Chain A
Amino acid sequence: MPHVKCLQCRECKTEYPIEPLNACEFCFGPLEVAYDYNSVAKAVSRKSIESGPNTMWRYHDFLPVEKESAVDISTGFTPLIHAKNLGRKLGLDHLYIKNDSVNPTFSFKDRPVSVTATKALEFEFDVLACVSTGNLMGSVAAHGAKAGMETMVFYPADLEQGKIQGAAVYGPTMVAVEGTYDQANRFCSELADAYRWAFVNINMRPYYAEGSKTLGYEVSEQLGWKAPDHCLVPGASGELHTKIWKGIEEFEGAGLIEKAKTKMHLAQAEGCAPIVEAFETGNNQVKPVKPETIAKSLAIGNPAAGPYSLEVLRETGGTGVFAYEDSIIDGIRMLAETEGIFTETAGGVVISSLKRLVKQGKIKKDEVTVAFVTGNGLKTLEAMGDFVDPIETKPQMNTFQTKLSKRRD
Chain B
Amino acid sequence: MSVSVRIPTPLRKVTNGEDKADVDGNTVSAIIASLDSQFPGIKSRLCDDSGDLRSFVNIYVNGEDIRFMDGMESGVNSGDEVSIVPAVAGGN
Residue ranges of A at the interface with B (Cβ–Cβ < 8 Å): 11, 22-31, 108-109, 112, 131, 133, 135-136, 181-183, 185-186, 188-190, 192-194, 201-202, 205, 212, 236-240, 285, 287-288, 290, 300, 302-305, 307
Contact = CB atoms under 8 A, between A and B. Distances in A.
B56 A186 contact: no
B42 to A, nearest CB: 11
A112 B92 contact: yes
A-side binding surface: helix, strand, loop or mixed? loop
23 contacts: A23-B8, A23-B88, A24-B10, A26-B45, A28-B56, A28-B87, A108-B92, A135-B92, A136-B92, A181-B90, A183-B63, A185-B91, A186-B58, A186-B85, A189-B89, A190-B85, A201-B90, A201-B91, A237-B90, A237-B92, A239-B92, A303-B91, A305-B88
Contacts of B57: 28
Contacts of A300: 90-91
Interface residues of B, number: 28
A285 B91 CA distance: 18
B77 interface: no
B24 interface: no
In the complex, the 7 A-B pairs of residues with the closest C-beta atoms, listed nearest first: A237-B91, A23-B86, A185-B90, A28-B56, A25-B10, A30-B88, A202-B89
Given A24-B10, A190-B6, A193-B19, A29 B88 contact: yes
Interface of B: 6, 8-11, 13, 19, 45-46, 54-58, 60, 63, 65, 67-68, 83, 85-92
A297 to B, nearest CB: 8
A307 to B, nearest CB: 6
B10 A23 contact: yes
